Amino acid sequence: MNDSRFLALVLLIALAKRLLRSFAYSLATLQGQWIKKSGIEIYAGRIKEHKDKTPRQSEFSLGLYGQRWKYGMELWADWVLNQPSAQTS
């Protein structure tokens, strides 16, 4: 492989990595905005009330944590619904 092709490949990989990171950031930020609009920020965001009332999480971090919260809620809901009944006949 000649030097120019190798350099082009390295540049392509670097750009792809940057685009992927940018896409992931945008997706998490949009998810955070949706969580705020839905009104579940209190549950999904680990928000603590403070005297100054400033937001404690950005939309990005709320989106990241909210994805984990949603997955956990779905997992536990499936587990609870699939448990055998505690009552026996």
In tens, the pLDDT along 18-71 reads 999 999 899 889 988 888 888 877 777 665 666 666 666 788 888 888 888 888
**Per-residue pLDDT, 89:** 47
In a domain, 11, yes or no: no
Domain count, the chain: 1
Q: How far is CA 81 from CA 69, 75, 77, 84, in A?
A: 18, 10, 6, 8
**Per-residue pLDDT, 61:** 83
For 54-76, b where at least 16 C-beta lie within 10 A, e where not — what string?
A: eeebebbebbbbbbebeeeeeee
53: left (phi over 0), alpha (psi -120 to 50) or beta: left
In a domain, 43, yes or no: yes
**Per-residue pLDDT, 41:** 76
In a domain, 60, yes or no: yes
* Residue 10 Cα to chain centre, angstroms: 29
> What pTM does this model have?
0.58
In a domain, 87, yes or no: no
Residue with tokens 């009330």: 49
